Amino acid sequence: MNLHPVSVDNSYRPAPFWSWNDNLDPEELRRQIRMMHEAGLGGFFMHARGGLQTEYLSPKWMDCVSVCLEEAGKLGMQAWLYDENGWPSGFGGGLVNGLGLEYQQKYLRHEILDAAEVAGRENTIAFYTSDGKTLLGRELPGKTTGNVLRCFFEVNPYYVDNLNPKVVAKFLRVTHQRYYDTLPKALLKNLRGIFTDEPQLSRKGLLWSFVLEEEYRKAYGRELLVELPQLFISMPESGAMRIRFWGLCARLFTQNFMKQIRDWCDAHGWEITGHHVQEETCQIQISSSGAVMPQYRYYHIPGVDHLGRIPASEVAAIQLVSSAAQFGQKQIMTESFAMTGWGCHFSGMRWIYLQQLAHGINFLCPHLEGYTLRGLRKRDYPASAFYHQPWWKDYRKFTDSVSRIGMILAEGEQKVDVLVIHPISSAWKAYAGDEHYSLLDTYSKSLERTTLALDKLQIGHHYADEYIVNEIGGVEGGEIRIGRGKYHTVIVPQLSNLSAKMAEILPVFQQNGGTIFVVRNQNEDGELTIDGKPASHEFLVWFRALPAFHSEYAAVEAVADSQTDRVVVTENGVSAGSVISTSRTVTLDGRSGRFYYFVNRSYRKSARVTIELPCTAEQLDILDPVSGRLSVLAGVKKENRTFRFTYTFAPASDGCFFVADPAELPVFTVRDPDAGTPALFQKESFTLKSYSGNILTLDRCAYRIDGGTWLHCDVIDLQSRLLSRRCDCDLDLEFEFFCDEDCDFKRPIQLVAETPERFRFALNGKPFAVKDLGYLFDRAFRRLELPGELKIGRNVIGMSLRYTQPELVYKAVDAAKKFESERNKLTFETELESIYLYGDFRVRHKGETETLEKNAVRYNGTFSLGAPLTMAQVDITDLLASGLPFFSGTLTLEKTFELTEEEECPDRTLRVELAGANSCELKLNGADLGGCFWDPYAWHVGPYLKKGLNRIEFKLTTSLRNTLGPHHLEEGECYRVSPLSFCREPDVIGRVPPPYRSGYCFIRFSLGLPSGATAVSQKTETL
C-alpha cells in the first residue's frame, strides 16, 4: 500500500469517547461533531455515561444517534456506537441481568462449618469433607456430623455471567440488534462499528457459572464437582486442575462472549473494538478473563486502556500487539488519558501515547470528550479533551502528528524474530483465589524485566500465549509459527509450567535450528510441569541442557548477540535506557523502504544518543510528524552497511526516520536545543499585554436547610450530605469573597455559575435578577452580570433554591453501593457546584506557600481581588504569585530589550521552558514565529533580531487545571485523578476520599529562561 504521509484518512485519526452525559440536543450534537472534525479527529464513540438524562435506548436516544450518523456521513467521519450504559459491557443497561439468577454474575465461595449448621444456607454447589478431598454431594447426607466444607456461589445481581452463551445472546438482542433494527438503514453505512468496554468474568476472585460443570465434563471427561476444592486448597493434583479450570474459563469467555459478538458484527457489517479489564499482570487477569491474550482474537481492532499520568504498561502493550500480529489485525487501539487530570496537556498526552505507539499500538481513543461539564461530569475521571479546554484550537497539532505515525505503523509490515513464552499457565497453577500469592508476582515481574531488556536493546518481540499456541501454533522448519507470526528465537522467562503443545513444539524447533534461551526460575529452581503434571525425565534432561541465565537481562544480551542487522541506540557509550523503537517496511510517496520510529519515554530528561540503523537502502530521511513532510537528514555517516548519526530527543519526544532509495528532498539539519549562549534580555519582568480574563474559584460555602442553623463545608461535599438525608428541602447558600482597596469596581466582575435558572441570587443581602452574558469555557458555565454593589472587604453572594431529587435517584444511589455498573450511570436532578468570579483583576494571596512535588505549590491562606492585570508588570517566573493562581485561558506577555551590534547574531536560537502551560507562541519584532506545543520550546530567532530596541511577545495557553482542581489533596498534584480526588468527605455511596488539606494546590505557571536565549552555529530550521 502506497501511503502519502501528508494526507491521513479519518480511519487512522483519533476517535474519542464522546461522553453523552446530559439531556441531549440534536443541534448541539451536530455542533460538537463539526468541532471534532475541525480538530483533526477522525470519528467518535457515542458513549452513555454518568449524568445522562436522555433515556438510554429510548426513541429520543435513537434519534440522537441517527443525527450523529448523518453528520458523520456529511463530514466523512467514522461513527462508532458504545454497547452499554456506563460500563462494564454486557448487562444491557440492566435489561440482561434483570432477567434473573441464570443471567447474573456469580462468584465461587467456600466455608468450613459444622454439619448441624448447614440448614437454610442458600446457593450451595456441593458439600465435602473438611479437607476437601471427598465429595459428599450436592446435599449433605442426613447423618453427617462434624465439620464439612461447603462450596457455594455468591450473586452479583448488577452484572452478568459472560461464560453463558445464552446470556451473551440476550445482550446482543437488547443492544446490538436493537440498534440495527431501529436506526435508519440508509444511515448505517456511516457506522463503522461498536465498542465493548471492560467485559469481565470476576474481579472478586474465584468465579462460578451454571455452565461450568457440563463444559468441564465435555472438555476433559472429568467431573468438576469432584475436583472443585483443588481450586483453593493445595493438593497433589491442584496444579493440573487449576490449569484445566482456568484454561476452560479463558476458552468459554473467548468463544461465548467475544466470538459470538464478532460473528454478529461480521454478519451485519460492523466492526468491534474495545478492551478487556485488568490486563497488566498474570494475577489480575486470571479471575477477570482467564487469560487476556486469547480474548483479543475476535476484535476487528483489539485494544487496551491506560489510566493516569503514569508510564504505560509494557507487558499490556506486548500482550496486545502480539495477539494482533498473530491474527493479522492491523489497527490496534488504546483508550488513554482517563484519570490524567485537568493538568495533562499535549506534552503529557504525547508522553503516554508515544510509548504505546513505539510498541505498535496505533489507533487512539482519547478518554474523553464531555458533552457538558455540568455538575459531577467535570469530575468524571478527567481530563475532558474538548472545546472547553483553552488549548482546543491547537488540538489539531497533536491529532495530526499521532494520526500520521499510527497510519504508517498500521499499514507497514513488521518483522519480529523473537518470541517470549507467556507464563500465564504457571500463574494458573499457583492461583488459589482471593488471597495474594507472591509467587505470581515472580512470573509477572520476569515477563516485565524481559520486555524492558528487549526494549532497551531495540529488539522487537512477541509473546506466545499457550492457549493461542494450542490452537494455531506449530513448527515450520527452523521457525515457530503462531498464525501470521514467525519466530527464530525463543526466550523462556521464569516459569514452572509449559503446555503439552509447547513442550512438543520446543524440542522440534531446536532440532530444526531454532534458538532457545532460558531464564532460570529463581523461586522454584528445578520444578517444571507439563499441564500441571511433572515433566518427564527425558524432557527435563533436554530442557536443562538449554542455554540458561541467572537474569532476564543476561538472556536478552545473548539474544542481541545472535541478531544481525540490529538497531543500536547508545548514550555515552552504553545502551540508551530511555529510548525505545519499532520499525516497519512501508511505501511512502512511491518509495519502498524501512520506517523507524523512536521515542524518548523520559518525561523530564532529554537524551542525546547515537543511532545505528541497518543500511538497507541509500538514503536516510527524517519525517516531520506534524506536517508529514520528508527531508534528507544531514550529518549521517555510512559505515559498514550501517547509517550512524547523533540525535537529541527532547523529553517525551519522538523521531521518525525512513531508509529508502534516493529522492530529491530538502536537506534537514537537526539543531541541538540544549546548546547555547548567554541570555538576550532580563527575564523576570514582562507586561501582561492581554488575556482571556482572570478567575477566582469559590468552592466553599455556608449553607442552611429549611431556615435552620448555618453550617460550613466544601460545596462538593454538600451534595453528598443532602443526598444522605433522602428528602427535599429549602436550601440557602452563601459564598464569601474579599476585595482589596485597589480593586477597580468600574470594570465588570462577573459571576459564573451552573444552572443559574434554578437559583435566586443576592449580593451582600440585596437580591438581583440574572442576566446571562454567555458561557465561560463550557456551555454549562454561565456568565452572569453582578450588580455594582461590590465593596472593599467582605462580600457575600447568596444563592437559594428548592433542593429536590426524585425517588429514583435514591434507589440508584443504593444500587451504586453494590457494583460499578450502577455507579457509572448515576444522574442527579439537582446538583450543587462551585461558583467562580471572572473579570480583569489580580487574585492576591495572603498566607504561606509551600513547594510541592510534581511541579506544584500549595497556598495556605486567603484570597482577595485586587487591581486589574491588563498592562500590569508580572513576573514570568511565577505567574501564580503575579495574581493568576486560578487562571485558565490564554495570555500575552511582552517586553522590549536592547541589543548591541555585537549581540546581534543571525544564528541565535531562543529556548524557553514552560510550567503549567500547554503551549507558547512567539512574536519577535512583529514577525510571527509560530507556536511550540511540546518540548523543545525553541525558535530560530537570529534573522528577526536587530541592533537597538527589540519587542518580544509570548502567548501562553493553559489547561483548566488551576480553575477546576483538584485543589485539596494532601499529596498535592495527582497523576491518577478520580471523582474522589475532589472530595473532603465520603461520597454518597460511602467511598472514602484520599487525605485532604485545606490549602489550595496549584501547578506552577511560569515561562522559564533558565539558560536564557541560546544560539547555535547551524543555519537551518529548528525542530
pLDDT tens-digit map of 307-334: 999 999 999 999 999 999 999 999 999 9
Residue 565: pLDDT band by 50, 70, 90 thresholds?
confident
274: alpha, beta or left, given left = phi > 0 and alpha = psi -120 to 50?
A: left
912 dihedral zone (left: phi>0; alpha: psi -120 to 50; beta): beta
Q: How far apart are CA 507 and CA 488, in angstroms?
A: 13
Stretch among 22-36, 162-176, 946-960, 997-1011 having the lowest mean pLDDT = 997-1011
Query: pLDDT digit string (tens) for 434-474?
Result: 767 788 899 999 999 999 999 999 999 999 999 999 999 99
Q: How confident is the model at residue 1022 (pLDDT cuts 50, 70, 90)?
A: very low
Which pLDDT tens digit goes with each residue over 866-892?
A: 999 999 999 999 999 999 999 999 999
Please give the grid coordinates belonging to residue 558: 545473548
What's the CA gap between 703 and 695, in Å, rounded? 23
The whole-number average pLDDT for the span 812-837 is 92
From the list 122, 118, 209, the residue with the least C-alpha distance to 168 is: 209
- Residue 1011 has a pLDDT of 47
Alpha carbons 721 and 846: distance in angstroms, whole number = 31
Q: Is the pLDDT at 680 greater than 80, yes or no?
A: no
Task: Provide, rounded to the nearest whole percent, the portion of the chain with pLDDT above 70.
Answer: 97
- Stretch among 164-173, 326-335, 407-416, 670-679 having the lowest mean pLDDT: 670-679
DSSP state of 535: P
* 867 close to 742: Cβ distance less than 8 angstroms: yes
- Tell me the per-residue pLDDT of 332-349, one tens digit each, with 9 for 90 and over: 999 999 999 999 999 999
**Does the pLDDT value for residue 62 go beyond 90?**
yes
Residue 1009 has pLDDT above 80, yes or no: no
Give the pLDDT band of residue 675 (cuts 50, 70, 90). low
Tell me the HSE value of 255 on the side-chain side, using a 13 A CA sphere. Answer: 12
| pLDDT value at residue 1014 | 35
Nearest to 647 by CA among 594, 587, 597: 597
- Residues 630-656 have a mean pLDDT of 95
Write out the DSSP string of 56-125.
TTSHHHHHHHHHHHHHHHHHT-EEEEEEEESSSTTSGGGTTGGG-GGGEEEEEEEEEEEGGG-TT--SEE
Mean pLDDT within 994-1011: 89
Q: Report CA dihedral (187, 188, 193, 197) to the nearest 10 degrees.
A: 70
Q: Is pLDDT above 60 for 1013?
A: no
Q: How far, CA to CA in Å, does 957 sit from each of 452, 656, 848, 933?
A: 36, 27, 27, 10
Number of C-beta neighbours around residue 849 at 10 A: 18
Give the count of beta carbons closer than 10 Å to the beta carbon of residue 519.
24
Instruction: Choose among 599, 245, 234: nearest CA to 437.
Output: 234
The three grid cell numbers given for residue 471, joined into one nine-digit string:
490452537
- Cell output for 741: 482597596
Distance from C-alpha of 772 to C-alpha of 104, rounded to nearest angstrom: 49
| pLDDT reading at 676 higher than 80 | no
**Alpha-carbon torsion angle 327, 331, 335, 336, nearest 10:** 120
At 439 the pLDDT is: 85
Q: What letter represents residue 395's amino acid?
A: Y
What are 483-504's pLDDT values in tens digits? 999 999 999 999 999 999 999 9
Residue 229 burial by Cβ neighbours in a 10 Å radius (0-12, 13-18, 19+)? buried
> Angle formed by the axes of helices 59-75 and 26-38, to 10°?
30
How many angstroms separate the CA atoms of 584 and 567, rounded?
A: 13
Mean pLDDT of 947-965: 97
Contact between 908 and 679 (Cβ < 8 Å): no
Name the pairing type of β-strands 630-633 and 667-668.
Answer: parallel
Specify the pLDDT at position 823.
86
Q: What would you report as the CA-atom Rg of the chain, rounded to the nearest whole angstrom? A: 31
**Sign of the dihedral defined by the CA atoms of residues 701, 706, 710, 711, in that order:** negative
pLDDT of residue 789: 87
Task: Among 28-32, 675-679, 983-987, name the one with the lowest average pLDDT.
Answer: 675-679
The model's pTM is: 0.96
Query: Residue 933: CB partners within 8 Å, gap ≥ 6?
Result: 346, 394, 397, 398, 918, 919
Side-chain half-sphere CA neighbours of 677 within 13 A: 12
Residue length, the chain? Answer: 1023
DSSP assignment letter at 258: I
Residue 423: φ, ψ to 5°: -90, 25
pLDDT of 1012 over the 90 cut = no
C-alpha to C-alpha distance for 328 and 870, rounded to whole angstroms = 58
Q: How confident is the model at residue 523 (pLDDT cuts 50, 70, 90)?
A: confident
User: Residue 1023 has what pLDDT?
Assistant: 26
Residue 788's pLDDT is 83
Q: Which of 478, 512, 484 is nearest to 415 (CA)?
A: 484
Confidence at residue 540, expressed as pLDDT on a 0 to 100 scale: 96
264-302 pLDDT, tens digit per residue, is 999 999 999 999 999 999 999 999 999 999 999 999 999
Inter-residue contact 668 to 633 (CB < 8 Å): yes
